[in-house]
Chain A
């Protein structure tokens, strides 16, 4: 079992819809959870981070964390074509290094 798992996609949603990206992790001791966006040919860009169970909202983005289920998700409301990218889930089990999922490719169709 991979330490951090994501559906590779592609996930296709129409413009204006809600995009839901999911991630599961294996280490129950994980404390920090991150979502990065990566455009093709570019380096990852931090979108959201969450430490506590529940929801955390920032503009059109909402991160959701459920430690009991070892599940973290990212919702993107009012999706725009510019949101089309690969979204990387990252978990910090211990220490400073991040464990990344393989990424979910999101395509927002105009």
Chain B
């Protein structure tokens, strides 16, 4: 089945640090990947849609200068949390679909980000 790999699993760093999270589709090509954030006891919140070779599409209220997305190849998207602060601490998850629009999305294992 479709496998999505996300790295790193855990990040603990000081306030003001920028953190990069990678999302890879291992056995398929993904022109579109999605980035979510999840706070404890809450559902997934879509942050942005990552499009290969073009700019990401951000959801309302998500700061594009704060959360930089790069989708340079058909198997890799990266999310960089710039100048992270404690309120950015959350569970970040990416997803990708192997098929056409409307086909199932498969999730990476997520990255737990803790900003001290």
Contacts and interface: CB of A to CB of B under 8 A. Distances in A.
A102 B104 contact: no
Given A44-B44, A101-B43, A102-B43, A96 B109 contact: no
Interface of A: 31-32, 34, 36, 41-46, 49, 51, 88, 90, 92, 95-98, 100-103
A57 B104 CA distance: 17
Interface residues of B, number: 22
Contacts of A36: 107
Interface of B: 6, 32, 34, 42-44, 46, 49, 93, 95, 97, 101-110, 112
Q: Is the interface of B mostly helix, strand, loop or mixed?
A: strand
A21 to B, nearest CB: 14
A97 B60 CA distance: 14
Given A31-B102, A42-B109, A43-B107, A96 B32 contact: yes
Nearest to B48: A97
Nearest to A86: B43
A51 B104 CA distance: 11
Nearest to B2: A46
22 contacts: A32-B102, A34-B105, A42-B109, A42-B110, A43-B93, A43-B107, A43-B108, A43-B109, A43-B110, A44-B93, A46-B105, A46-B106, A51-B102, A92-B101, A95-B101, A96-B49, A96-B97, A97-B46, A97-B49, A98-B34, A100-B43, A101-B43
